[in-house]
Chains A and B, each alone.
Chain A
């Protein structure tokens, strides 16, 4: 349908600009608190992209966990370790190492995505989930508990969460 086409392109364009632009602002902005807020905007852009990929569940999870919990945690961590309203240096002395790593990573990911787009790599080709049209969450739920599919990672995630909680409590209470 014509509507869907240019509306989707417009939405994709806006979301991409939002995500990449605010990601740039995270590293460029001197005020570290503002960087955390630009991160918030960038994560919101990612949530929008999830919606465009017909994964509304992941979008809602992104907003709930990343924007609603992790950014708050990051802000708390900033408050815990930094003086308020201080400005930080834009670059440190090893910026060229970081630059090379970033470019190499970008090339690798671009190569993989290009291959996936062409259908060359069988691991990366999947059925379109848009066909599920709203039943995606139930399929995900069934896959998560199915012993033949993702039941073990599911339980291991629980172990990971428990370990994270116990670890953070140990570290936080250490200085008391």
Chain B
């Protein structure tokens, strides 16, 4: 669609190139620039209100221009490179961090006709690109010539890399249900939003993204920057700002991805219309869904206490990964048994019977998907119940062992042996 704009009479090669260039700039800047302007203000206001204070309200009406103040401050700071640091790598690391996040926006479906590049392997592409961000962290920590930066970077990389595993496996579920890896294809196949069919996978995806982007309760990575051991402590000014911006945009990008993969992206009443109206509706639905999920992320982030890094890793490898593997197998089994039969339902919808009329009201694809979705929901609830039972049993066992320990030792009610009183008169 974006190419159709500029075939006015220019040289077709140049026209294609310019159209692509404009599209690229629009996509890239959307995530990085336009959202940052609104989002940073939102983050600080929400965090402030949760903590029962005002938040920024000086710069501009309601503090809306705080972003520009921050940006201006950071850009005018001195750029210090520590001695002995590996200069080229030191300078590339923040670029890599931002590039990794911005590249994801190339495959983000804003509306039915508004997508940067509808790659046939979109779902795999965005995971691959996100894994470049991990590399940026490692390079930053290494090139700083600082023990603590290196330790922080290694810990951060271990955590980031661990949380990629359940994320990748949980993306397999929408790909499996939609039968395609293209992002627009996944959105178009969601006649029933996948979050209603496989809420457990959505939960695993959301949680592993919390871990990937270093948001609470997994923000040990961020906390390390507040303490000494952080991978970006040697960075000053706008380079440091780039790392912060990368992490911030990454969190919104993951919410947008969740919206696309599980909550139906640009789907909604009116989004199927051709031309500008459909694009506008689609974009509004996409953006509002991402914002709702982002508010959920902020809410969780400001409420839940931080996990220690060993708790974080245990949660990932011993809970999320096995859970998602079991979930994948269950979903695969149910999806194969109850495979939606679009032709039969469409045929019934075409015929004039009452059932066909009911089908036509709801949309034949929706009805065809319904049995599979309900069965998947039931299976998810069963798995959740099983997991809940296991957790409850282990809590009971632990409580019982603590009680047993306490019962084995009598409570300390006072001195066990009387104090030696000095005899009077000595």
Contact = CB atoms under 8 A, between A and B. Distances in A.
A and B touch in the complex (CB under 8 A): yes
Which 8 residue pairs are nearest across A and B when measured between Cβ atoms? A68-B131, A134-B120, A63-B128, A64-B128, A60-B124, A3-B13, A56-B121, A60-B128
Contact of B135 (A40, A56, A57, A136): A40
Interface residues of B, number: 30
Given A60-B121, A68-B135, A3 B128 contact: no
Contacts of A56: 119-121, 125
B121 A63 contact: no
A57 B131 contact: no
Contacts of A59: 121
Interface string B340-364: 0000000000000000000000000
Contacts of A40: 135
Interface in B95-137: 119-121, 124-125, 127-129, 131-132, 134-135
Contact of B131 (A34, A67, A75, A138): A67
Given A56-B119, A75-B138, A137-B181, A2 B124 contact: no
B157 interface: yes
A75 to B, nearest CB: 6
Interface of B: 12-13, 16, 84, 86, 89, 119-121, 124-125, 127-129, 131-132, 134-135, 138-139, 142, 145, 154, 157, 161, 164, 179-182
A67 B12 contact: no
Contact of B12 (A3, A33, A61): A3
A8 B240 CA distance: 38
Interface in A57-85: 57, 59-61, 63-64, 67-69, 71-72, 75, 79, 85
Given A134-B120, A137-B181, A64 B89 contact: no
A52 interface: no
Given A3-B13, A3-B16, A69 B131 contact: yes
A33 B135 contact: no
B169 to A, nearest CB: 13
A37 interface: yes
Contacts of B89: 33-34, 37
28 contacts: A3-B13, A7-B13, A33-B86, A33-B89, A37-B89, A56-B120, A56-B121, A57-B124, A59-B121, A60-B125, A60-B128, A61-B124, A61-B128, A63-B128, A64-B127, A64-B128, A64-B131, A67-B131, A68-B131, A68-B164, A69-B131, A71-B135, A72-B135, A85-B145, A134-B120, A135-B120, A136-B120, A137-B121
A57 B161 contact: no
Nearest to A47: B128
Contacts of A57: 120-121, 124, 181
Q: Which of A34, A40, A72 has the largest count of B CB atoms less than 10 A from its CB?
A: A72
A54 B263 CA distance: 31
